[in-house]
Amino acid sequence: MNDFLKEIAVIAALAERAISAWAKWVEATARDAERAHHRTELLAAYRRRLSWKKADVPHLQSLGVSAIAQRRMAQLTGRGRPVVHQHQPLSSTLVRRFAELQPLWNPKASPHQRRRAVELWPWWEHYVEALYRSEFAHAKNRGIARPSLHAEDTVGNALYISAAKVRKICGTIRCKRREWEGAANFPPMTLKEFNGWMQTGIPPHLDTEEM
Q: What is the pLDDT of residues 88-113, one digit of tens each?
A: 776 666 666 777 777 877 888 888 88
Q: What is residue 80's predicted lDDT score, i.e. its pLDDT?
A: 83
Q: What is residue 210's predicted lDDT score, i.e. its pLDDT?
A: 38
6 phi/psi in degrees, rounded to 5:
-65, -40
Total length of the chain: 211
Confidence of residue 211 (pLDDT cuts 50, 70, 90): very low
State CA 120 to chain mean position distance.
6
Q: What is residue 9's predicted lDDT score, i.e. its pLDDT?
A: 57
What residue segments make up the domains of the chain, in order of their start? 2-87, 103-200
The enclosing H or E element of 209 equals none
| pTM, entire model | 0.57
110 phi/psi in degrees, rounded to 5:
-85, 160
Cβ atoms of residues 80 and 55 within 8 Å: yes
Give the side-chain half-sphere CA count within 13 A for 185.
10
What single-letter DSSP state applies at residue 81? S
Confidence of residue 207 (pLDDT cuts 50, 70, 90): very low
Residue-wise DSSP of 92-116: HHHHHHHHHHGGGT-TTS-HHHHHH
> CA-CA distance, 7 to 3, in Å (whole number)?
6
Q: What is the pLDDT of residues 113-127, one digit of tens each?
A: 888 888 888 889 999
Q: What is residue 208's predicted lDDT score, i.e. its pLDDT?
A: 43
Q: Is 65 a residue whose pLDDT tops 60?
A: yes
